[in-house]
Amino acid sequence: MDFRYVGSSGLKVSELCLGTMTFGNEADEVTSHALLDRYVEAGGNFIDTADVYNDGASEEIIGRWLARTSRDDVVVATKFFWSTGSGPNDNGAGRKHILAAVRDSLRRLRTDYIDLYQIHAFDEGTALEETLSTLDGLVRSGLVRHLGVSNYAAWQLQKSIDVARFRGWEPFVALQPLYNLLDREIEHELVPVSLNEGVGIIPWAPLRGGWLTGKYRRGMTSAPPGTRWEADKQPWLGDWDRSVDERTWSVTDTLLAVAAELGRTPAQVAVRWLLQRPGVTAPIIGARSVAQLDDNLGAVGWSLDDKSMELLTGAGDQPLPYPYGYLAGSPRRRER
């Protein structure tokens, strides 16, 4: 695996990040540790989790694995925001919750520092200055090395960057958004903000909950039994009826065709497409088994040619809404 800088920071991570939402649920501890071992063996060094993944079990499993490996060889990212208890301050990005959350994550991870600490969602109820000053303090204390966000709107990210710059506080260097061949809304504003401000993009759901693995084919009227889309098991991605339309099948058909032509699996092609998109640092790959992980790891070590990139991108392109379509005709656009 190659290594890439996270945004404008000096932190270098492997081009694929191992997501651990399955740890403690779909993958037991033995399987989870096998996944971590295989990922590191393949050259990976970037692990992403969150305090709410399976009520903290994901962090605990990672912590027990970290205890038997070289901590400084691994980049550990975790997130906070969602409720971790029933109290009024057991969620959000206020100072009280942040300080409690980082303490608990450090304990579960069995480490004395977090490489990348991320806000899981924007907190509309807390003054931005309170959140940013508290996070800056964590970096200054050495408990946290770098800061990032997830599921932010472009204005929320830009305002956070501007306030931190004005105050001289630690900036956000990473954005963790939903991004894949089908979910491309971040290209309107979040990608430009990230490119302009030196924020590395770490996409979640690069396979759209398994949709881009080749299991779903044109003509299907429902999800196959045992898949994640059966009975709407992907609430954060939408249900079957709202997700299936001609564009969905156009992208799926094109993905399957490109994969067949290249002798690659659809999952490998889908992740490879992301790796070659502007601003992307490392897609987050998740797995329930070593076999699934090995398939995803096959996305590195090769490149899609321009023709394949154009076919895949074009299949999911949509008419640009105002004002993006209007601005696309500007004679003063700068090619990146």
pLDDT digits (tens, 9 = 90+) for 221-240: 888 877 777 665 666 777 77
| Mean pLDDT (the chain, rounded) | 95
Per cent of the chain over pLDDT 70 is: 97
pLDDT tens, residue by residue, 31-62: 999 999 999 999 999 999 999 999 999 999 99
- Where does the pLDDT of residue 202 fall: very low under 50, low under 70, confident under 90, or very high at 90 and above? very high
What tens digit of pLDDT does each residue of 162-188 get?
999 999 999 999 999 999 999 999 999
pLDDT in tens, 309-332: 999 999 999 999 999 999 888 887
From start to end of the chain, where are the E strands?
Answer: 3-5, 12-14, 17-19, 46-48, 75-80, 114-119, 144-150, 172-176, 200-201, 284-285
pLDDT of residue 239: 78
pLDDT for residue 124: 96
Q: What is the pLDDT of residues 283-294, one digit of tens each?
A: 999 999 999 999
- Confidence at 29, pLDDT banded by 50, 70, 90: very high
The predicted model scores a pTM of 0.95
Residue 7 vs residue 238, higher pLDDT = 7
- Give me the pLDDT at residue 231, please: 60
User: pLDDT at position 336, please?
Assistant: 59
Q: Tell me the per-residue pLDDT of 70-126, one tens digit each, with 9 for 90 and over.
A: 999 999 999 999 999 999 999 999 999 999 999 999 999 999 999 999 999 999 999
Compute how many other C-beta atoms are within 10 angstroms of the C-beta atom of residue 290.
16
Residues known to be catalytic: 53
